[in-house]
A and B are shown apart, each in its own frame.
Chain A
Amino acid sequence: MTAGSPSLLIRNRTWLIALAAYAATVVPLMTSGLLYADVVVTSGIFFILVMAMDLLFGCAGLLSFGHIGFFAIGAYAPAVLAKFFAASLLSGTLAGLVVNLALALTLGRVFLRLSGSYFMLGTLAFGIMVHAVIRTWYPVTGGDAGLGDIPRVVLGSLSPQVSLAIVIWVSAALLFWFSLNLSASRVGRALRAIRGDAVSAACCGVDVPRLRINLFALSACYASISGSLFAAYNGAVHPDSFALSALLDVLLMLFFGGEGTIWGALIGVTLLRVLPDLSGPLQAGKILFSGVLFAVIIFLFPMGVAGALKDGMRRLGRARDEVRPHEPAATAGEGASGQRAAGDEVFGQGVASEGMARAGTRRLRAAGASGEPPPAVIEVEALGQSFGGLRAVDAVSFSVEAGTIRSLIGPNGAGKSTMLNLLSGVQSVREGRVSGLGHRLEGLSPDRIARLGVRRTFQHERLFAHLTVIENVMVGCESGSDGSVRDLVRCGLALPSTRSEAQRARAASLAWLERIGLADRADDAVSALPHGLRKLVEVARAVAALPQVLLLDETAAGLNATEKARLKVLLRSLRDEGVTTLLIEHDMAFVMDISDRILVLDFGRLIAEGTPDAVRRDPAVLAAYLGA
Chain B
Amino acid sequence: MAEFLQVLFTGLSQGGIYALIGIGFSLVNMSTRVLNLAQGSYALLGGFVFLTLATRYGLPLWAALALVLVFVAMLGVVTERIVSLRVRPWRPISHDMAILTTLALVVVAEGAAFLIWGPDPQRGPALQRGVVNVLGAILIWQSVWMLVITLVIAAGLQWLLIRTWLGRSMRACAQNPLTAALLGIDVRRVGMAAFTLSAVIGALAGMLVSPITWLDYQIGGEFMLKGVLAYLLGGELAIAGPLVGGLVLGLVENLFLLFPGATGGLLKQVVPMALLIVMLVWRPQGLLGGPRAR
Binding site for B on A (CB under 8 A): 63, 65, 106-107, 110-111, 113-118, 120-122, 124-126, 128-129, 132-133, 136-139, 243-245, 248, 251, 255, 282-292, 294-295, 298-299, 302
Min CB gap B177→A, angstroms: 16
CB of B277 within 8 A of CB of A287, answer: no
Q: Report chain A residues within 8 Å CB of B37.
A: 124
Give the number of chain B interface residues (Cβ < 8 Å). Answer: 47
On whether A122 and B232 interact (CB within 8 A), knowing A129-B269, A285-B111, the answer reads: yes
Q: Report chain A residues within 8 Å CB of B101.
A: 295, 298-299
In the complex, which of the residues B104, B112, B273, B281 has the most CB atoms of chain A within 10 Å of its own CB atom? B104
CB of B111 within 8 A of CB of A125, answer: no
On whether A295 and B270 interact (CB within 8 A), knowing A110-B281, A136-B262, the answer reads: no
In the complex, which of the residues A114, A244, A255 has the most CB atoms of chain B within 10 Å of its own CB atom? A244
Q: Report chain A residues within 8 Å CB of B115.
A: 282, 284-285, 288
Compute how far the CA of A282 lies from the CA of B111 in the bound complex, rounded to whole angstroms: 10
By beta carbon, the residue of chain A nearest B270 is A133
On whether A244 and B273 interact (CB within 8 A), knowing A284-B111, A298-B101, the answer reads: no
A-B contacts besides A120-B99, A284-B115, 7 pairs, CB < 8 Å: A121-B35, A126-B273, A138-B262, A244-B110, A248-B103, A292-B111, A299-B85
Q: Report chain A residues within 8 Å CB of B82.
A: 295, 299
Within 8 A of A (CB), among B261-283: 262, 265-266, 268-270, 272-273, 276-277, 280-281
On whether A118 and B104 interact (CB within 8 A), knowing A126-B273, A139-B262, A289-B111, the answer reads: no
On whether A291 and B96 interact (CB within 8 A), knowing A118-B232, A120-B35, A136-B265, the answer reads: no
A-B contact pairs, 15 of them (CB 8 A): A117-B294, A120-B99, A124-B37, A128-B221, A129-B225, A133-B266, A136-B265, A136-B269, A137-B266, A138-B262, A248-B107, A251-B100, A251-B103, A284-B111, A288-B107
Min CB gap A351→B, angstroms: 41
Tell me how many residue pairs across A and B have CB atoms closer than 8 Å.
136
Compute how far the CA of A65 lies from the CA of B270 in the bound complex, rounded to whole angstroms: 17
Compute how far the CA of A137 lies from the CA of B284 in the bound complex, rounded to whole angstroms: 30
The SS class assigned to the A binding surface is helix
CB of A116 within 8 A of CB of B96, answer: yes
Binding site for A on B (CB under 8 A): 35, 37, 82, 85, 94-97, 99-101, 103-112, 114-115, 119, 217-218, 221-222, 225, 228-229, 232, 262, 265-266, 268-270, 272-273, 276-277, 280-281, 284, 292, 294
Compute how far the CA of A132 lies from the CA of B273 in the bound complex, rounded to whole angstroms: 11
Min CB gap A150→B, angstroms: 22
CB of B276 within 8 A of CB of A248, answer: no
CB of B104 within 8 A of CB of A298, answer: yes
CB of B281 within 8 A of CB of A292, answer: no
Q: Report chain A residues within 8 Å CB of B281.
A: 110
CB of B266 within 8 A of CB of A136, answer: yes
On whether A288 and B114 interact (CB within 8 A), knowing A294-B104, A295-B105, the answer reads: yes
CB of A63 within 8 A of CB of B225, answer: no
